[in-house]
């Protein structure tokens, strides 16, 4: 069994001082760097939105960040503008060592659909290509770390299990948003699906 480390969205906008900051998001970078040297492969994801992305609250008059709306693909949380392509907010946090990355996967670049998961857009049908990459390298066991536990990490973990991978979430190397109880709900959903929480 070949194990890969998948580092989810360790970007400036998700760290303290960023547009969609996760508390203590920057503090997990050193531990993630250490884990990189124990993995057979390292994949790093990068939220990469065009300006005016449909998931931004600024694109929905009368709506505020963290409101929810119905999109053609389902319920969507509206976010502050974040991780806009080419911006400093979209850049990886400077404490993250990206030189060890075998693959940097950008997601969320389609204007009309958000992408929490490293595997699929939020319609749960449009693939990012990560599954094919992992299978072509015979990477069957995955360790997930990064931001945020209850959104992009959880969605990635749930999709990975559904696709037949063995999945662990290293919770000490994740931080969450906890929007209306989302942390407890997603931790339970992951356990119920067979994700091992370390």
Q: Phi and psi (nearest 5°) for 132?
A: -60, -40
Q: What is the pLDDT of residues 9-48, one digit of tens each?
A: 999 999 999 999 999 999 999 999 999 999 999 999 999 9
Q: What is the pLDDT of residue 130?
A: 98
Q: What is the pLDDT of residues 60-75, one digit of tens each?
A: 999 999 999 999 999 9
Q: What is the pLDDT of residues 176-191, one digit of tens each?
A: 999 999 999 999 999 9
CA 119/CA 125 separation, integer angstroms: 9
Residues noted as catalytic = 9, 107, 152
């Amino acid at each position: 069994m070949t194990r890969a480390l998948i580092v989810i969205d360790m970007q400036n906008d998700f760290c303290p001082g960023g547009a969609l900051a996760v508390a203590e998001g920057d503090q997990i970078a050193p531990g993630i760097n250490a884990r990189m040297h124990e993995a057979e492969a390292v994949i790093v994801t990068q939220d990469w939105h065009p300006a005016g992305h449909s998931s931004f609250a600024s694109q929905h008059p009368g709506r505020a960040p963290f409101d929810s709306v119905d999109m053609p693909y389902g319920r969507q949380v509206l976010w502050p503008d974040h991780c806009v392509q080419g911006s400093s907010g979209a850049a990886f946090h400077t404490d993250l060592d990206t030189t060890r990355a075998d693959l940097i996967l950008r997601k969320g670049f389609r204007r009309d659909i958000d992408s929490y998961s490293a595997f699929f857009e939020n319609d749960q049908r449009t693939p990012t290509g990560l599954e094919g990459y992992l299978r072509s390298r015979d990477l069957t066991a995955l360790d997930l770390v990064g931001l945020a536990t209850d959104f992009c990490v959880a969605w990635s973990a749930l999709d990975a299990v559904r696709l037949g991978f063995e999945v662990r979430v290293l919770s000490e190397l994740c931080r969450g948003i906890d929007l209306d109880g989302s942390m407890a709900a997603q931790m339970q959903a992951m356990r119920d699906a067979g994700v091992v929480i370390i």
